[in-house]
Amino acid sequence: MKAPQTFFLTGAASGIGQHLADSLIAQDRCVFATDINFDALEAHAQKQGWPEQRVRLRRLDVRDPAAWSEAIDEAVAAFGDLDVAMNIAGYMLAGWIHEFLPEEVDRHFDINAKGVIYGTQAAARQMMKQGYGQIINIASIAALAPIPGVSLYSAAKYAVRAFSLAAAQELRPYNVYVTAICPDAVRTPLLDPQKGIEAAALVFSTPKLFSVEDIARVILERAIPRRPMEIVIPAHRGWLAHVTNMFPQLAFKLGPFFRKRGEARQAEFFSERG
């Protein structure tokens, strides 16, 4: 299998998407980088000196299916084909179910779930025509076991994982592979709005907050070469999540321990940031 050369990324203005774009460009790959925050994307591209001959930038609201079709068409026009599409853009704001507003329900599902669905569909149509490709969708460890306090995020990521695994089965006959990446908490701007929010404690209960470099390494060294249906990061937390998912009553026994640990690490995380 030849190394993929053309990549389409969402969420490329910050976090995992930004680091992946930097890494791919450093490897002389062609990158079509998108984000709803185009000013931040453009500023980073200029700062890093992304080469114009191998990089295209575009504002993309992942909630807009028409914009998705236009963006994929532009990427193909620029680079001739599309080897890998990565749905990375995401949103999370912790809160208790009796408190969140209707617009928060819409925002979580429109960005995290529907955005991935529209992106997968648009990329799949192109890849089916060209006869090959891979779609990588960022889910979460919250897609394996429900996490109280981030119920909307967890529910949306459950949808991402389920959709991705079903899409993988539908698209394999066309030589198109779909991979769901399910990481534990990662140090990205997604964590910033959780400061001072009690409901977010379990997000920080992980033994280790992963870096964007950690997740990019898994994607570049495992997901792309091997094209599995799913990767959970780390695997041992995935097994714990699977067990809790099969026996949900365990959450009442394990939850207090993890919440207490999460509260301490949440306070530590934001105190370090000042």
- Cα–Cα distances in Å, from 245 out to 38, 105, 147, 235, 236? 38, 23, 10, 15, 14
- Determine the Cα–Cα distance for residues 221 and 231; give it in Å rounded to an integer: 12
**What's the rounded Cα separation, in Å, for the pair 158 and 223?**
20
Helix axis angle, 65-79 to 115-130, nearest 10°: 40
Phi-psi region of 231 (alpha: psi -120 to 50; beta: other; left: phi over 0): beta
H or E, element range at 167: helix 151-171
**Cβ within 8 Å of residue 262, ≥6 positions away:** 200, 201, 202, 203, 204, 205
The one-letter amino acid code at 244 reads T
Nearest to 87 by CA among 162, 16, 37: 16
Is the pLDDT reported for residue 147 higher than 80? yes
Q: What is the reported pLDDT for 246?
A: 84
Interval 233-250: pLDDT, tens? 998 877 788 888 888 898
Domains with residue ranges and CATH for the chain: 6-273 (3.40.50.720)
- How many residues belong to the chain? 274
- Looking at residue 156, its pLDDT comes to 98
Q: Cα(186)–Cα(108) distance, rounded to whole angstroms?
A: 18
Q: Which residues of 14-29 are buried (b: 16+ CB within 10 A; e: fewer)?
A: bbbbbbbbbbbbeeeb
For residues 54-67, give the mean pLDDT.
98
What digits encode the pLDDT tens for the residues 181-210?
Answer: 999 999 999 999 999 999 999 999 998 999
Cite the active site residues: 153
Residues in a beta bridge with 51:
none
Q: Rounded to two decimals, what is the model's pTM? A: 0.95
**Does residue 2 carry a pLDDT above 70?**
no
